[in-house]
Amino acid sequence: MNEEKIKNQILDACSSSEADFLEIRVEETDSTRINFKAKKLDNLIQNQGLGGNVRALVKGGWGFVCFNNLNNLKDNVKSAVMQAKRASRKNFVPLAEVKPVKDKIVSSFSQSASEIKISEKIHLLRHYNDLIWSSEGIQSSDLIYGDSIRKIFLVNSYGTELIQDSHHVVFRASVQARNGGDVQQSGFSIGSLGDYSVIQGLDNEIKDTVNKAKNQLASKPVSGGEKTVVLDPILAGVFVHEAFGHLSEADHVYENDQLKEMMVLGKTFGPKNLNIVDGAQIPNLRGSFSYDDEGTPSSKTDLIREGVLVGRLHSRETAAIMKEKPTGNARSIGYNFPPIVRMTNTLIENGDSDISDIFGDIKEGIYAKNWYGGMTSMEMFTFSSGESYMIRNGRVEEMIRPVMLSGNVFSTLHNIDSIGKDLDMNQGGGCGKGGQMPLPVSNGSPHIRIQNCLVSGN
């Protein structure tokens, strides 16, 4: 649709509002999903759509209305304002101030996924699938490809007028190998901000995944207990996102008295060389953008600096409630959801240890790589590695069965005694919260070493 026409319709609908704050967002979307399951193309989905929402704020009460055409914008505004009035309250805090902006953000790529024919995408995935099934002993496999384009028009009653596009490509490969009743698996995921080239030329990665799944059939489980564990950048990145990042989202903090007592700014959470940050201002990652879904400019937020908790992630509302600054972390998965506080690119910064030093003085330990799954509950976590190896006398030795790591995140952070300088980012995942998933994010870390980490061998 015509950009100027859409913007003018939104501005016109915004002009007559009785709300303290009014925001209208309109999105044009185009997405593709391809899934090969076992030896066959399982599904192919292509979607195009137009939709939007109105958010109104009246004396601390929110109203929210979704729509799929622009014909009744003014009626939708009235409905959202009426909802907000019903939800208003005597004691409320106005939104934190953000300078209004007028901007247009357009992405560019060396090879845009939107320019690749669907037949070429299917052909590439079929090629990868044939590579998997050319090997003996494979029970099942999953190849999932997705790409999406969102063009977002955002206008609010404070004077912000934005047009911003968002492109994403993701690919996930998972292989299951079987020997009798024993089934083991391996997988990997990658992604980009719309650059299709990241999923090309993955023959070696596919073959390596097949071999790892088969090799795990010959591996043995390790005994459980507290052990010295080295995490690779992928698993360490998942750990910092899931176990710590969600605790840094301000809506979790102010709504939970127990978490308020835990997440006190100025409290020491780790060693001096531990630095954790989150920010969409970090460039060229799947969680990167110029403005969040409230029109707040992106930032890079220190969460832990030299082992001390120094910050948290905010929307305009949570920043006002907690008397802190907005960080540009209000995000929505689509127009049918309101923005909530979400992570973007979350990572442990580089330390100063060489890989040889991290492994070198470990008499016996475990090297845990990649990830398979896990869960968190407040400060407690449980994660499963995608693959694991024994460490003996400073050397990575035989593959063992994937291990489960569990514990208290704060104790675990304190037990990090070595941080590498080989930061790497995982861009193949998506985050879930409040019924909104998978939200594009990235996470990463250098190799880290943790003492006294509780390991389960099954």
All structural domains of the chain, each given as residue ranges with its CATH number in brackets, are: 3-218 (3.30.2290.10), 225-456 (no CATH)
Three-state DSSP string of 115-163: HCCHHHHHHHHHHHHHHHHCCCCEEEEEEEEEEEEEEEEEEECCCCEEE
Span 410-449, pLDDT tens digits: 999 999 999 999 999 999 989 999 899 999 999 999 999 9
The residue whose two tokens read 């693959």 is 387
pLDDT value for 458: 59
CB 305 within 8 A of CB 339: no
Average pLDDT, the chain: 94
Q: Bridge partners of 376?
A: 381
Locate 10 and state its tokens.
Answer: 């939104």
Span 204-219, pLDDT tens digits: 999 999 999 999 999 9
Contacts of 118 (CB under 8 A, 6+ apart): 32, 44, 46
pLDDT of 146 over the 80 cut:
yes
Backbone angles phi, psi at 53, to 5 degrees: -150, 160
pLDDT of 145 over the 90 cut:
yes
Q: Bridge partners of 368?
A: 231, 388
What end-to-end distance do the CA atoms of the chain give, in Å?
A: 55
Q: What percent of the chain has pLDDT over 70?
A: 100
Of 248, 234, 266, residue with least CA distance to 388: 234
**Banded model confidence at residue 110, pLDDT cuts 50, 70, 90:** confident
CB 17 within 8 A of CB 56: yes
Span 255-288, pLDDT tens digits: 899 999 999 999 999 999 999 999 999 999 999 9
Backbone angles phi, psi at 173, to 5 degrees: -120, 135
pLDDT value for 378: 87
**Banded model confidence at residue 1, pLDDT cuts 50, 70, 90:** low
Q: What percent of the chain has pLDDT over 90?
A: 86
The residue whose two tokens read 């953008």 is 289
Contacts of 284 (CB under 8 A, 6+ apart): 193
pLDDT value for 149: 93
Locate 316 and state its tokens.
Answer: 């305009």
pLDDT of 108 over the 90 cut:
no
Span 8-56, pLDDT tens digits: 888 888 887 789 999 999 999 999 999 999 999 999 999 999 999 999 9
Backbone angles phi, psi at 404, to 5 degrees: -110, 130
Half-sphere exposure of 37 (CA within 13 A, CB side): 5
Query: What does the alpha-carbon distance between residue 83 and residue 329 come to, in Å, rounded to a whole number?
Result: 25
Interstrand relation of 442-445 and 345-348 (parallel, antiparallel or unpaired): parallel
pLDDT value for 6: 84
**Banded model confidence at residue 130, pLDDT cuts 50, 70, 90:** very high
Contacts of 339 (CB under 8 A, 6+ apart): 292, 293, 294, 315, 330, 331, 332
Please, what is the Cα angle at 31 between 25 and 37, to 5 degrees? 140
Residue 88 neighbours by CB distance under 10 Å: 16
Q: Bridge partners of 172?
A: 144, 189
Helix axes 203-218, 118-133, angle to 10 degrees: 30
